[in-house]
Structure 1
Amino acid sequence: MDPSERPAVVMDNGTGYSKLGFSGNSEPSFTIPTIVAVNESFLDQSEQCSSANWLAQYNAGVMADLDFFIGDEAVSHLRSSGLYSLRTPIRHGQVTDWDTMERFWQQSIFNYLRCNPEEHYFLLTDSPVSTPESRECMGEIMFETFNVPGLYISVQSVLSLSAGYAYLRSLSEEEADSELLQERGELLPPDDALDIARRVKETYCYTSSDIVKEFKKHDSKPSKYIKQWSAVKPKTGVPYTIDIGYERFLGPEIFFNPEMYSEDFFTPLPELIDNCVQSAPIDTRRALYKNIVLSGGSTMFKDFHRRLQNNLKKIVDERVAATNACHHVEVKPVEVNVVTHPIQSYAVWFGGSVAASSPEFFECCHTKEDYEEHGASICRTSTVFKGMY
């Protein structure tokens, strides 16, 4: 069967989670953490073998290539055996470890989606700030390692727009939660720290309307607001318990006060959105403020949309008031509306599913023949087609 007659594979690989599935479906088949557990004993053995003992070195390398797990299976093997360590191939939305990323794709295709990559076109997502060289690496791995017949690489924000949503990117709050816990003296196992932070974030975190009031609430009734997290150290098997206190609201707070997490970031998310809308043509701004739609798992904190709407509304109202006072005119109030929706956590993947279902999709893909003729540079850009909108 012609690969263009089969559904395309859609993979949205994010810093925290990856969504895997086939075009035409309304939701991904799998949503798994973007992590890989590798067997360090084989890697160490491969490095320690002398060049003369090439066969032992080769065998150790082969075993290291075979003995790894991804997603929740990676976490499970990390906890049940001291032989594995976790690796995260994507940091802040960009691939930083291509060998680990290739392993992640291998397991995603063969063990999860259980398909032959030579029989399906592929749609991969990419960060808006990724380099052209990064896309070349994507194309090289897909065409050389997996021998895919066609590949389309799309910017995540474009896919969200094709699903009808505006895509909001942010800092990595899992890392913030981990650092907050460690700074308070909680002894997190290093190999398990980010996974613990991820699970704590999903289970206990919420967005506060007033950070000072939240501190007072926790201080006045610690038994009500402080939660406990119990687990077992992966390598020693020793049980431990950590307290989850201020981190419950301080983790999400980095969206609104990023300077508390890193001195490299000072602009809160509401201000970033306002700057973006203000850079648009003046006759479109009111419509944009009225239709801010959330996308991404980190926007699903309880009351996140309310805090964002209130903070953004305050910025807009202050500008309107200043304009009225300065120019002695009567500018009408601007409506600000932040919309939540059921598929908010996987809007990018859904946009990819919609795009790859379009007849134009296969015409716009880079093919294996194109790659063999022109090289990986063809993957630096992908043609935008009508089906994306």
Structure 2
Amino acid sequence: MVDINLIRDLTNAFGPSGFEDDVVKVIKEYGSEFDIESDSMNNVFAKLRNNTGKKPIVMLDAHSDEVGFIVQHITSKGLLSILNVGGWINSNIPAHTVKIKNTKGEIITGVITSKPPHFMTDAERASDKLDLESIYIDVGATSRNEVVEDFGIQVGDPVMPDVTLQYNDKNGTLLGKAFDNRLGCVCIIETMKALLDNNSLAVDVVGGFASQEEVGMRGAQITSQVVAPDLAIVFEGSPADDLYYDEFQAQCALKKGVQIRHMDQSYISNTEYISYAKDLADKNGIKYQSAVRRRGSTNAGKIHLAHKAVPVLVLGIPSRYVHTHYNFCALEDINSTVDLAVEVIKNLNDNSLNKIFKR
């Protein structure tokens, strides 16, 4: 079973896009059994120590960043004006606590402002529009000087949601933040650990923890160039849709297994790779659900076009309310995702590779 402590430490870690340093530290701590290094952009590369350098390379991808904010300016009253880092819906932002990391590395708690109804005009009450320019963070200060001098907060400081992981052992669900996509990072580590002592693999395995996905899949552009994979598995915390559609329309439901994504706005999957993965899931009793997405994208969009045509398998962990402060997922779905990835890699051979590469 996947390590709850790993999930806790990765999801709790501070890491909006471009500020993934703490996440890198956790990855290196739990990935000490691998050959592991990072670059100046906070991308992390992990290799199995039994890699030969002479076999086709499978890259395991997940992005390490989370949606957050950045301080744009500080008002005379001591409020922090913010810009979003990654995709937010403005109506989901107010009235939550957040953590600001100042340049000294200190964490300051703030509250995202929301105007009480007592002070709203009739027009404001009736309107469902909310501009980010009217949303601020309040750290309990009364002046700009107090924010700068006492709290050490400056323009450019990053902000993340203030949420701590909770595991409910009654029904096997987790509540936390950044499931998009720290759960993917969990899956890379757990998959590679399951393969540590396997010396009969037909492929070399490299984990690529990519930074800055939420602002344009920037890290994956680098990791795919550095690793130069022959094929890849992309792990993603995928938006759960089971609350919005019936059982036949939903394609990312909690406790129905790993999501195998056939298509989204960024890529169309390799049909042979999909068939290979589904056959293994059926053979091994691994629950899965197929998905064709009208919207959304993953690092597969960058990876499958990197240096040559790279077959990519996207495996999603259903996660409710992604790109908000709070997420739910089911532990069993994480386990299904890791189980399928391990089987996919263990069973690769000349025959299956030739089919996937359409040779």
Higher strand share: 2
TM range (shorter): under 0.3
Q: Which has the greater radius of gyration?
A: 1
Tell me the TM-score normalised to structure 1 length.
0.25
Q: Comparing both structures, which one devotes a greater share of its residues to helix?
A: 1
Relative to the length of structure 2, the TM-score reads: 0.27
